[in-house]
């Protein structure tokens, strides 16, 4: 399913609002809603982001695909959550459904536990819209 075509303006704006309120206002530097092919559906950031988000989205989708293959090798259906900690920034990936992935970039001042809680809340709200 191609969500870039299927989302109407109201759905798109609702999803943007959820991600802004739940994650950007929390202190997340960037949040991307992408499909598993690496296409960006929603992109929000704090205004100071200088990363190449298009390359990041493509690599995130590839990374998630590779980890999903590893999950199957060890007998899991899927790993629905990934996290990579960096020295100054970290990346959190969360699968929304079979087609969508939520990617957040955040700094040390954002608690991983609190971020995971807010991502879970945002994911539930997004699923209701879809």
Q: Between the ranges 1-10, 76-85, 96-105, where is the mean pLDDT highest?
A: 96-105
Percent with pLDDT over 90 in the chain: 62
Say which CATH number the domain at 15 has.
3.30.450.30
- Give the range of the structural domain holding residue 20, as residue numbers without chain letter: 3-129
Q: How far apart are CA 34 and CA 10, in angstroms?
A: 18
Return the residue matching tokens 């700094």: 107
Tell whether pTM > 0.75.
Answer: yes
Mean pLDDT of the chain: 89
Number of structural domains the chain divides into:
1
pLDDT digits (tens, 9 = 90+) for 34-84: 999 999 999 998 888 888 999 999 999 999 889 889 999 999 988 877 888
The answer to whether residues 49 and 29 touch, using CB atoms and an 8 Å cutoff, is yes
């Amino acid at each position: 399913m191609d969500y870039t075509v299927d989302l109407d303006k109201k759905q798109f704006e609702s999803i943007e609002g959820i991600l802004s309120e739940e994650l950007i206002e929390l202190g997340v530097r960037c949040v991307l809603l992408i499909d598993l092919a690496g296409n960006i559906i929603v992109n929000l950031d704090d205004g100071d982001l200088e990363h190449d988000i298009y390359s990041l989205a493509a690599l995130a989708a590839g990374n998630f695909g590779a980890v999903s293959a590893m999950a199957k090798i060890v007998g899991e259906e899927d790993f629905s959550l990934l996290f990579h900690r960096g020295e100054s920034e970290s990346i959190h990936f969360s699968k929304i459904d079979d087609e969508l992935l939520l990617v957040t970039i955040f700094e040390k001042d954002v608690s991983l536990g609190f971020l995971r809680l807010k991502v879970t809340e945002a994911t539930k709200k997004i699923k209701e819209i879809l």
